[in-house]
Amino acid sequence: MNDNQLLRYSRHILLDEIDITGQEKIAAAHALVIGAGGLGSPAALYLASAGTGKITLADHDTVDLTNLQRQILHTTERIGLSKVSSGKQTLAAINPDIEIVALDERLDDTRLHALMQTATVVLDCTDNFATRHAINRACVAHGVPLVSGAAIRFDGQISVFDPRDAASPCYACLFPPDQSFEEIRCATMGVFAPLVGIIGSMQAAEALKLMMGIGTSLAGKLQMLDALSMEWTTIKIRRDAACHVCGAH
């Protein structure tokens, strides 16, 4: 770590729990951020500013005027540009010393499994169950911790699913893929702008802790926020021995 980096990350290094050792672990980490929208924006911004060595940002959408109320990676001038190209510009401006890979594509199972080969942690910042389950399956198969966030209207939730821990449930334990859940999208229901900032920032915090191996993660817990009352509810999640994804692992 050079003098400029020591200065840039000095406020992290001052923390006994992080110090130079923790900051070097962040620099050696690869974060896969899937979704460059409301959740992915603050999550990727904090990962970049914290010095995550490699960030892969994946999204197949383009910047739209309706995104700008909450998706802080993007600007008015970039309407029509791919979200990952816009995001890469923003992240590079914040921290030119890190590697940023922009994937303008919808990740299928094959691609997810390939990306898991080098990922330290995965942040699910998507908005549909099919993609979430595909990400979860790949994380379980490769033993990569998953930080999952969601937000709609005034309701947010976050959890960590860590297949390295034998007691940790996976996403499918909480939301079984054979059960039907109502797909609710921001485009039809709306979302409170700062809510995605709160949840996305928490996703970054959990991911950084996992990179460094410090603190206690949210594995085994689902935290839910009612942003109208700013009240948190925490639910404990148990691993399902009959889970079709992680039950045999």
DSSP state of 82: B
- The Cβ of residue 85 has, within 10 Å, a number of other Cβ atoms equal to 17
Catalytic residue among 125, 139, 173, 186: 186
2 class by beta-carbon count within 10 Å (0-12 exposed, 13-18 middle, 19+ buried): exposed
For the chain, state the CA radius of gyration: 17
Task: Show the CA angle centred on residue 198, arms to residues 195 and 202, nearest 5°.
Answer: 145
| DSSP β-bridge partners for residue 57 | 33, 102
Count of alpha carbons within 13 Å of 14, Cβ hemisphere only? 5
Catalytic site residue 243? no
SS3 state of residue 41 = helix
DSSP 159: E
Sign, CA torsion 90/91/96/101: negative
Strands 121-124 vs 30-34: parallel, antiparallel or unpaired: parallel
Active site residues: 186
